[in-house]
Each structure stands twice: as C-alpha cells, then as structure tokens.
Structure 1
Amino acid sequence: MADKQKVSEYYTRPPTLGKWESFRQFLWNSETGQFLGRTGASWAKILLFYLIFYSVLAGFFAAMLAVFYQTLDARKPKWQLSSSLIGDNPGLGFRPMPPESNVESTLIWYKSSDKGNVQYWQNQLKLFLTKYNKDNKLQTVEPCTPFQNATAPGKVCDVSMTKSWHPCLEETGFGFEDPKGGPCIFLKLNKIYNWVPEYYNSSNMPNDNTMSEHLKQDIINAEAANEHRLVWVTCEGENPADKENIGTLRYIPYRGFMSQYFPFQNQDGYLSPLVAVHFEEPKRGVLINIECKAWAKNIHHDRADKRGSVHFELMID
C-alpha cells in the first residue's frame, strides 16, 4: 500500500484540456518554457543542424555544377551532328508564317487588292529580314565569293539584298500587292552546328526518279560553269492539280544555298542564307498545296519527320 501511495504522489494524470487550451499550450507552455513543442535550446540546435546540412548540400551542388560546366563550351555543343538530338539532317523553314492564333496552320491566304489584308504578311517579312538590313549587321560580316569555301574563322558571309532581288524587296511589297503575280516566300535551311553539305554533281546524282530530270540538267549545267556547289531548292505542287495551278517559279538570288555560308559554327553576326521563291503567276481563287525540298547528298527527305522539306499552302483571292 505504501508503494502505491508513493507512485500516485509522483505520477499524477495531467489535467484534461479543451481544444483551445491544448492549442494555446502548444504555442507557448509557460511551465516548461516550450514554444511549438520545443525549448529555445532545442530550436537553436535543430536550426543549426539544418543550416549546416543545407549549406553543405548547396556547396556540393555548386561544386558539381562547376565541374559540369568545365566539360561544356559556350560556343559549340558537346554533342554534334549524328551524336546530337538534332541530328545531321537539316529541315527547311519558310517565311512569312501565319498568325500565332492559328499556330498549326501553314496557309498563306490574302487578297492582293486589300492593303490591310496584305499588311500582316509584309510586316512579318520586314521583321524577319531586320537582321539582314545593312545597319544591323556586325563588323564580322563581309562579302564573299559565291560557290567558294567559307571565310576565315570568326568571319561570316554577307547576305546582301540588292536590286537583283526584285520583286522580293520591301519597297515592292514582296510581291503581295501585285494584281497579277504572286508573293515572294523566303526559304531558310535550319542551322546545324558544323554541318557541311555534300554537293551533287554529274557523277553522284540519284538514278531513281526521286530527283526531277529538270533539276539534274540544272546541276549538270551549273557544274560546267563551276557553280554547282549549292544546296539546291525545288518547290512544286504536291498533287497534279496543284502542279497545274502553281504557275512559273523564280528562285532569287540562286536556286539554292551557296557553299560559302557553311559550316555554321555559331559565329557572331551569322546570317543564314536565304532563297526567295517568287510565284510569278499562281492561279487565283484556289488552294495550292506546295512542297519545297533542299537537295544535297547528305539531306534525306521525310514528310512525316519534316526532314529536308517544308509544306505550306497558298491561296490568293
């Protein structure tokens, strides 16, 4: 009996508290000096632990990041060509693009007699060609000899849009206001670091019907003039009706991208070569499906993956 009485003296059941009293005691217990269930010394220890823990963790992460950046070059990718995610097969792009509100569309649709209607397409081309303006070019840009090798390291070849680009110039409205003719659509080859095209000549053209006889003859004629070092470009209607409606095409300034612009090596002020395709007499009031392709030995065409080609539609009211 005496032992039971001693136990009851030292171990008494704490008083039953309500929810509000329990929460208030959890916030601050005046009897034990605890705040949120811990004393000041306990809070100091745990804060010191986490301060040291996260400091060491941040230092380790920064050290690993520094080591990682030592393996990278700010001017060239670590993985190039076939070893990279981009691969070694460039695609084609076209400008002007349809409005962003219809991002999946590839339709160029306008009415040449409506200035407000064509203004969007003209403004898109003006914006795209801004860096090709003389005042915006860097000092590293210099004139180059056509169909030759690239310039010295650090230099880039100029894309000079002279009067020979007529009517694909801003002052002529890029052909969008021509009441009888069609617009100028600008093509560009997607940039791949260190990619160099393998040019076609009379001895390495494909024997099958993948390349038109007209293009083969153009390559033979260009080789005779030593002007075959081109990534050739062709545009044509996708279907028989489209081929009838597309009309005559003119490629400006050449029918392809010349060799002096390759390879791209992230040079300061680099200007991607352009080919302006002038649709001289497309049929009006009908939708024309158009496919443009780039031609080199190491460019393979795949519509599904959009490799080596680009598709768009043209409709003029």
Structure 2
Amino acid sequence: MADKKVNEFYTRPPVLGKWESFRQFLWNSETKQFLGRTGASWGKILLFYLIFYSVLIGFFAAMLAVFYQTLDMKKPKWELKESLIGDNPGLGFRPMPPESNVESTLIWYKSSDKGNVQYWQNQLKDFLKIYKKEKHPYDSNIMTCADFQNATDGKVCDVPMTESWHPCLEESGFGFGDPKGGPCIFLKLNKIYSWKPEYYESSDLPDDMSEHLRQKIRKAQSKQEHKMVWITCEGENPADKENIGPFRYIPRDGFMSQYFPFMNQNGYLSPLVAIYFEQPERGVLINIECKAWAKNIHHDRADKRGSVHFELMID
C-alpha cells in the first residue's frame, strides 16, 4: 500500500472585534481561562503571594515588636544633651499669626475692627482651653500648689487663671479690643524632658542682664524666691524701646520652680506669663524680644534658644 502524503495547513484564527476580544479575555470557554489564566494557574499565583506577604508582614511585625521593646512611651531614649533638641529651652508666644503666613511673627490688628480682633482672641481661647480644664482627661491629676512647692508624687501643679490675670482674660478680650491699651501676649517655655533650671543667686548675675531684673533678684527676701526662671521683654532698638510704652508681667515676671522638671506627667500644664502692653504706640511697627533667664539657659537669637522675637503693630 502506497504511503499517503498528508498535507496539513495552518488556519488563521478569526479576526475578532474589540468587544469580542475583551469578552474572550474575560472568559475563554474553549481554554477555560479567566483573565488569561486557568483555575490552576490562578491558584498557584494566589498561593505564592499569600505566602510571600504573610512572611513579609510577619518579619516586619517581629522587627516592630523588637523596636518597641527598646522604647519607653513616657520617657525618651535620649535626654538633654544627648537628644536632638538639646538642653537649652526656647520661648514660644501666643497668639500666632495666620497659617497663610506661617513664617511671620507679626501681631498686627486694628482695635476698631471686630472681625480682625476676633481672630486673635479666638487663637488665645483655643490655646487656653486646656488651662480652663474643660473636659480635661487628667483633671484629677492636677492639684493647687503653693508657690515654689512641688506637687506630690504623681500629681502636677495647676496654672490657675484667676482674676489676678486681668485684663489678660477671655472676659476682657485679652486686651485686643481696648481702644487705648494694647494686647496680652502669652509666653511659654518649651518643654524638655527632665530639664531642671539652675537658678540665679544675688551674687552670680550675668553682665547682660537688665538692671531692673538684677535689682529684683537682689531684693528677693528668701532663698525660695530665687527659684524662678525669670522673663524680660524689651524693644530691640532705641525706637522700639520708646514706642513699646509701659507693660507688665502677669501674674509674675517668670516661671516658678513648682513646674519643673517636666517628666511627661499626665495632665502637665506648661507655666505661662502674660505680657500686657498698656499703651503701645499706634501705627508703628514695634520689634520685641523676650528672654528667659536661668544659669543653664543660653541666648542665641539665630537658633532661637532662650529667647523669642515678635513684632507688634496696632492700627
């Protein structure tokens, strides 16, 4: 029987339209493929990624657990000089200018413009909410302390904003609406964990300290009264010193010792000093610098250490 030559020809697949191609990609009934893969192929790839990501998540979870074992949630790993922020606190002021000009330190308002004045008042209301202890989560941990007397173990000292703070109270508009007087600017010392101030005595006052503060420290009647981180404010230039007018510190010209050290206690309140400008010059930009004074506070205007600068302008 003669061999029969068999000719085999390749038949081109039919040309499919866009919709038919997409539909076939979704489900090919001939090859039983879904999205270009068979069921077995999908099972293998899903199993691979399940194992891969399970191992990856387990590895990072283990590393995170080890990392958290080295941390204390109440205490920083590095303190004072060993930390990034160092052991030299700075000063902060409130109210702050609008966020649209975040680098500005200018407090500028028109006392007759209620809308403008309200912005600054609302800034201080929000800042002082915690001091009013409205719905404070650790209200039971805050106690009233005598001057220069630390709180008992586990407690913190209150910062009582009584009538002695007048006119730097919400009821008085913090002085911003006064057509003749000036505003109240609040100062706070930046918190540094476990930092303790070294207090000045009458015999070791620095040369660059103002004579007014020198006299005040020398007149302190007891050793306890020296336990203050003192605050001084003044105009930066001769013209500023002339235009700033009289001002006073409320309730005292410094932060008393019962608020130090900060140990991340529950309910801790940073001490405050309000500067009430009684009669600043109107329509003039006034540059003001405030400094905190203790033996272990060093002043550096460029690095904003131990002092704060802001400008005041009232139209």
Shared fold, TM over 0.5: yes
TM-score, normalised to structure 1's length? Answer: 0.86
Give per-residue Cα distances to partners, 1:146-173, cap 9 Å, x unaligned.
123x322320101111222122122222
- Residue 232 of structure 1 is matched in structure 2 by 230
Distance (Å, rounded) in 2 between the aligned partners of 1:167 and 1:216: 27
- Residue 117 of structure 2 is matched in structure 1 by 118
- Residue 306 of structure 1 is matched in structure 2 by 304
- Residue 142 of structure 2 is matched in structure 1 by 141
- SS at 2:151's partner residue? coil
* Contact 1:187-1:276 at 8 Å conserved across structures: yes
- SS at 1:129's partner residue? helix
AA aligned to 1:184 is C
Residue 142 of structure 1, CA deviation: 0.9
CA change 1:31–1:93 in 2 (3 A) is same
CA change 1:277–1:42 in 2 (3 A) is same
Give per-residue Cα distances to partners, 1:91-132, cap 9 Å, x unaligned.
111111222232222211223344443222222222211121
Q: Which deviates more from structure 2 when the two are superposed, residues 265-274 or residues 66-75? A: 66-75
Q: Which runs of 5+ in 1 are unaligned?
A: none
Residue 279 of structure 1, CA deviation: 1.0
Give per-residue Cα distances to partners, 1:175-200, cap 9 Å, x unaligned.
22333322111111111111111111
AA aligned to 1:144 is C
- Pairing of 1:106-255 with structure 2 (within 5 A): 106-133=105-132, 135-136=134-135, 138-148=139-149, 150-206=150-206, 208=207, 210-222=208-220, 224=222, 226-255=224-253
Distance (Å, rounded) in 2 between the aligned partners of 1:115 and 1:32: 77
- SS at 2:107's partner residue? strand
TM-score, normalised to structure 2's length? Answer: 0.87
Residue 18 of structure 1, CA deviation: 5.6
The reply to whether residue 76 of structure 1 matches residue 75 of structure 2 is yes
- Residue 41 of structure 2 is matched in structure 1 by 42
Residue 203 of structure 1, CA deviation: 3.4
- Residue 259 of structure 2 is matched in structure 1 by 261
Give per-residue Cα distances to partners, 1:212-263, cap 9 Å, x unaligned.
2322222222265631111111111111110111112211111111110011
- Residue 282 of structure 1 is matched in structure 2 by 280
- SS at 1:93's partner residue? strand
Q: Which deviates more from structure 2 when the two are superposed, residues 117-126 or residues 31-40? A: 31-40
Percent of aligned pairs sharing the same letter: 77
Residue 291 of structure 1, CA deviation: 0.8
Aligned length: 307
CA change 1:18–1:221 in 2 (3 A) is farther
